Amino acid sequence: MSRPLAVVCLAAGLGKRTKVSIPKVLLPLCGRTLLGCSLDATDALRPQHTIVVVHHQKELVEKEVSSRKGIVCVDQGKPMGTGHAVKMAMQALSDFDGDVLVTYGDCPLITTETLQMLRESMEDSVCAVLTTFQDDPTGLGRILRDEDDNFVGIREHRDCTEEESLIDEVNTGFYCFDSSALRRALLKLKPDNAQGEYYLTDVIAQFADQDLNPVTFTLEDGYETIGVNSLVELGIARARMQERILMRHLSNGVMITDPATTHIDHDVEIGPETKILPFTVIGSGCKVGRGCEVGPFAHLRAGTVLEDGAEIGNFVEAKKTRVGAGSKAKHLTYLGDAVIGKNANIGAGTITANYDGARKHETKIGDGCFVGSGTVIVAPSQLGARSMTGAGAIVKRDSVIGDEEVWVGIPAKLLKRRDPSTIKKESR
């Protein structure tokens, strides 16, 4: 669209019903925060301005968005309703002329596509209202229409007549406004209600009373507009978001054996023909190549990279580790801060002891290396190409095992060199 876009994201709520100390909008969801998910949806629209309205623990919320370009945080002060929040945000958009999209920091499932269609539906109107249908609309504002199905207003639940309470089309709270019309309407808002608050729905009522013809865009999937107000609702949102993530990977040729027991965060790359076995957890920031196998009961943490054909098996955890093409760690192993070459075999029960109590250190394992079962490698240490450790070996800190050397014992010491003629071309 040719008109400029500004986004106003409301993120000032207390979140008392979550019963946790962190701001509600910073609750985690599949590797991001609720607010992060909401802003990702609007960032894709490339707005000219994004205003995040904050108040409760605003320093934490401001820190969360500090790495994003073009975001301005506005302190609402004492929260006095959605109309008041948007009015405060518009002070930071005093010279802006275009469309203003109002979203929420606790609605993580909204998609870019829906917001774009909401905006496009406005056409020549001053406002578009996103609506949806709910089996149980209790507590939600009902959408009122005339005999010709034209939108005429929003009735809050407590004000509904018995007949209106049966309406299942509801207001989601997402809007797109013409900036000039919004400014004029906000000036006329009054807190004429029991709560003494300024309601954004009263802006819609003004437009309807003035025959400015606000329009609606109806969303069939009501889950997109779910707001998270409790940890129960967070669990519901997580399940829905996880389904989206898994379906995307499945559509890209990733063979996920049992999606019901697989957890994959946002920002994970997985190549086609890779098998993800049950009870696998893959955290944000991991990259898995083509034709790999992960699981069952495996955990890949941030910074882990599996090159093509690598295999991570039962009860193996990897953190900030690169596993080379064709290399395998199949059983009961911890790989932390390690760089593993191609076609290496990491035996059952191997541990890279990467933490000395103050700092993390790196372990380097060369191409074709054979690490015996139960080996502990105290970092920093280096195992050369086609080297080998015996079962139960303890490789001391700062050890350098040369190419094709065999080290055994506690502490591990050089036993002999491997005969190159007996080493398989691709060690397994």
- Distance, in Å, from the CA atom of 28 to the CA atom of 338, rounded to the nearest integer, reads 27
Sign of the C-alpha dihedral computed for residues 62, 237, 90 and 179 taken in this order: positive
Nearest 10 degrees: Cα torsion 359, 363, 364, 367: -150
Among the listed residues 56, 157, 263, 331, the single catalytic one is: 331
- Distance, in Å, from the CA atom of 356 to the CA atom of 14, rounded to the nearest integer, reads 40
49 in active site: no
Distances (CA, A) of 227 to 34, 219, 239, 241, 242: 10, 15, 14, 13, 16
Angle of the 179-187 helix axis to the 82-90 helix axis, nearest 10: 120
- The answer to whether the CB of 127 falls within 8 A of the CB of 181 is yes
**Which residues are catalytic, by number?**
331
